Amino acid sequence: MTDLPIWAAIVVGLLLIAGGTFALIGAIGLLRLDDFYRRLHAPSLSASGATTCIVLASIIGFSVMNGRPVLREILVGFFIMCTAPVTLMLLGRVALYRDRAADRPVVAESDPLGASPDQE
Amino acid sequence: MKRIIPHPILTLVLLVMWLILTQFTLGQAILGTAVALVAARALAALEPQTIRIRRWSPIPGLFYTFVVDILWSNVKVGRAIMSRTTPPSGLIEVELDTRDRNILAIISVVIAAAPGTAWLGWNPGNQTLLLHLLDIEEGEIWEETLKKSYLGRLKEIFG
């Protein structure tokens, strides 16, 4: 593990710290934000910021150590990016339905889901 | 051509993915091509319409805007969470003049990846997108960005 040159170690270390910070802030956001819709935003920090930093750190670290480009991590980032909307949309829509069922006026004036409930 | 390779872009992407996951050798390239061709035919049974990219030139610019927006949004939301008072949130509606499923799918990736925005609903009737914004002050900025930098370019790409 010691065959990583000092410049690469610094770059990888900084990227890992940045990624960890994003993930930590995302987790703190889940605790601190007070409303379900607002909490939807916190996990995106881990999905985009943290993932990007850690994927970059992994690519640089393993490419330098192996002496050839290691690109496997790009796939990790790609699949996280592509699948994140599915869960986030599902959660958002569930919250909208729940609020509408409870007659809570959270939605906008012309909410796409609430405008014509009998058409669905 | 269309009979043998029903989804050329998917086939190529699958082949590259296969090579990344295994090794860049001739044997793996042949095996990967076979797997990609079979997978593309399987998809053709489900989804006969091939995705066609009409223009490639806006893609790098779109990718650059995407990266910059995501970074900017990450830093902003991170700051908002760590500051003592979080900004007021709210909903906005953005009218997107499209019915293309590929364009909408890419826009949904952008919205999910940008921490300040969350996709709540899409109304195909009047083609409006309902978004939740952590900072409602940024509503106009996001509306502009989605319409101009994303929708405009995506329409050029997919035609």
Could you give phi then psi for residue A99, rounded to 5 degrees? -65, -35
Clarify whether residues B41 and B98 are in a common domain.
Answer: no
Asked if B21's CB is within 8 angstroms of A44's CB, the reply is no
The answer, for A35 touching chain B at a CB cutoff of 8 Å, is: yes
Domain positions in chain A: 6-104
Give the pLDDT score at A4.
84
B106 to chain A, any CB pair closer than 8 A? The answer is no
- Name the minimum distance, in Å, from the CA of A94 to any CA of chain B: 9
pLDDT in tens, B57-66: 999 999 999 9
Specify the pLDDT at position A2.
59
Q: Assess whether B73 and B145 both reside in one domain.
A: yes
pLDDT of residue B3: 67
Co-location of B138 and B71 in the same domain:
yes
Burial of B114 from C-beta contacts in 10 A (0-12 / 13-18 / 19+): buried
pLDDT above 80 (res B4): no
Whole-number pLDDT of residue A116: 45
Residue A44: which of B17, B112, B129 has the nearest Cβ? B112
Q: Which residues of B touch A93 (CB under 8 A)?
A: 120-121
Range of B40's domain? Answer: 8-46
pLDDT tens-digit profile of B134-157? 888 888 889 988 998 899 999 999
β-pair partners for B118: B132
**What's the one-letter identity of residue A98?**
R
Domain-embedded: residue B53: no
Which residues in chain A have Cβ-Cβ distances shorter than 8 Å to B63? none
Q: Are B136 and B92 in contact (CB under 8 A)?
A: yes
Question: How far is Cα B157 from Cα B53, in angstroms, rounded to an integer?
Answer: 6
Residues B151 and B84 both lie in one domain: yes
Q: Is residue B16 part of a domain?
A: yes
With CA atoms as reference, the chain B residue closest to A47 would be B113
Contacts of A82 (CB under 8 A, 6+ apart): B109
Q: What is the ipTM of this complex?
A: 0.79
Nearest residue to A68 (alpha-carbon basis) of B20, B31, B13, B33: B20
How many domains does one find in chain B?
2
pLDDT < 70 stretches in chain A: 1-2, 105-120
* A37 to B89: CB separation less than 8 angstroms, yes or no: yes
pLDDT of residue B1: 58
Same domain (yes/no): B143, B83: yes
Residue with tokens 């949004």: B73
Give the mean pLDDT of chain B. Answer: 88
H or E segment at B26?
helix B26-46
Nearest to A107 by CA among B121, B113, B128, B142: B121
pLDDT at position A117: 43
- B16-60 pLDDT, tens per residue? 999 988 888 899 999 999 999 999 888 888 877 778 888 889 999
Residues B65 and B133 both lie in one domain: yes
Q: Is residue B51 part of a domain?
A: no
CB-nearest partner of A40 from B118, B128, B130:
B118
